[in-house]
Structures are given as structure tokens and as C-alpha cells.
Amino acid sequence: MRVVKTIAEVRQIRWDDPALTWGLVPTMGALHEGHLTLVRQALMENDRVGVSIFVNPIQFNRRDDLEKYPRPIERDLDMLRTAGVHLVWTPDETEMYPASFQTYVAVENVTQVLEGASRPGHFKGVATVVSKLFNVFQPTRAYFGQKDAQQVAVIRQMVRDLAFNLEIIACPTLRESDGLAMSSRNVRLNPAERTAATVLYRALTAAKNEWEAGQREADHLRATMQQAIEAEPLAKIDYVSVADPISLQELNGPVEKALLSMAVFMGEVRLIDNVIIGVA
Ligand code: PAF
């Protein structure tokens, strides 16, 4: 496995044999089994797999969140080496954002709601860094977790709008045995918060079960999720949503397909999760 820092090194390795297909798994490190699932799928579908590890400062709207973001780089590299990854790019901040940097990618409507409404500027940061990663790596396919459903929707929109020449693959959310979605932020939960955090998936599952039993009213599904979260004293709702899976606009009345999603604070840690209903 090659571990490199510069754009020039990535390009040289990527184009060493232009006939090979490359899968890219963009990450901010602090890898867990969820990332490894993306890596394994990428390894099955491509000749070579590259992983980027870069804690992207411009997608954080809270300084403490950026500062507290875990950075266990040696452990990450061991995991990727064991998994069989070919190339890891760990750029320094100056490689991604030199002092002269002044170009940003802003995707419009789909970024204005949900995470975008709660975290101003977040998706501008994501779209900008992902564009740069795509331009540098020029992967055949890029892999993202469905846990960040809005991120997937934003990146798909950007790829369509700007005609990036690659395929976006969204992989299902990986969960702990008690249902908690795997996330690099979970390590920041204290034991009581960790136990309480299972309420997100319980709330989503309660609404999904109701929909499967015939309940179609968006308001009712939202209320089910809200009540389930409010029953957990350690949880504080940021939002609960029943939205169109592509436009992410909030739905009213009867729904045949939807993205059920939420953001919930457990103490200082903000967790997100989602499930899709009605889409095969
Ligand atoms: O999902 C993430 O880890 C990040 O948002 C990404 C896609 C690596 C961009 O920094």
C-alpha cells in the first residue's frame, strides 16, 4: 500500500496504467467497520482502490467539532493495509487549501434543508473538497455511506450538474448490534449517552413499521419519531424529517416513498441517522 501526501504523487500512481479502473473511498479518517464495508465493495468492483484521509476544515461549522474530531492515523493505515487498499492519500491542509485558494462549489436547493439548515456552509465544504478529490484521483467509481443520505444526494446532484465522469455508489448503513449507526463520532459518547443513542434507530424503525402497516400520513410518521426521541431524557432533537428521497423537500399528506431522517444531540455529540421507505 502506498501512502502519499501530494497531488502529483496521486496522479502519477493513478495514471501509471490508464487501463486500470480505480475506486475511491473519500474519508476523514477515524475509520470503522462502516468505512471498511465501502473499501471492500470498492475492492470487489475495481482493479485498484484509493482512500483519502483528510479532516476537511471547511465543512465544519463548529470549531470544537473540528478540534475534537478523532485522528488515529496509524490505526487507520493499519486497517487499510490489512483490507488490501492500494493507495492512501493523506494531504496536508496546505495541499488542499493553499493560501491562494478561492474557488468553492455550492450546490443549491438540496443543501438548504436538513443538515444544510442546521450546519450552514457544511455542504459547500463537502462539495468543494469532494470535487477536488474527484479531480485529483479521477476515479472510475466513488463510494459513500448511505448514513449521510443528504451528502449522497448533494454529491449525486453535483456530479450530474458538473458532468463528473464517474459513478457514485451509495452503500447501506452499517449498524452496531443494538442498531446504532456506525460513526466516527460514537467514540465521543459517554456510557450513558452510548446506551441512549439507540433511540435514533428505534424511532426510525417505529415510523417505518407504521408505514409498513399502512400508516401513510407524513405528519403522523414525523410525530412517531419525535415522541420516541422525546421519551429519552438524554436526547435533544435538532430535526426529524419525512422528505422526498431526491429533492429532500419535506413531505405533507400521504407518502408512498420517503427518506426518514433525524439529527439528535446526545450531550455534546450530534448524531444523524436515516432509513428509506418505499424505494426498492
Ligand atoms: O463523509 C465524510 O467523511 C466527508 O464528508 C467526506 C465525504 C470525506 C468529505 O470530507
Residue 280 scores a pLDDT above 80: no
Kind and range of the H or E run holding 245: none
**Cα–Cα distance measured from residue 55 to residue 5, given in angstroms and rounded to the nearest whole number:** 14
**Cα–Cα distance measured from residue 174 to residue 145, given in angstroms and rounded to the nearest whole number:** 9
How do the residues of the chain divide into helix, strand and coil, expressed in percent and rounded to 5? Answer: 45, 20, 35
Percent of the chain with pLDDT over 90: 96
List residues with catalytic annotation: 35
CATH topology for 2-171?
Rossmann fold (3.40.50)
Q: Which atom of ligand 1 is nearest to the CA of 54?
A: 10
- What is residue 17's predicted lDDT score, i.e. its pLDDT? 98
- What is residue 92's predicted lDDT score, i.e. its pLDDT? 98
How much is the pTM? Answer: 0.94
For ligand 1, pick from 126, 131, 148 the residue to mutate: most ligand atoms within 8 Å of CB: 126
Q: What is the CATH number of domain 184-272?
A: 3.30.1300.10
66-100: per-residue pLDDT in tens? Answer: 998 989 999 999 999 999 999 999 999 999 999 99
The domain segmentation of the chain, as residue ranges, is 2-171, 184-272
Nearest Cα residue to atom 1 of ligand 1: 27
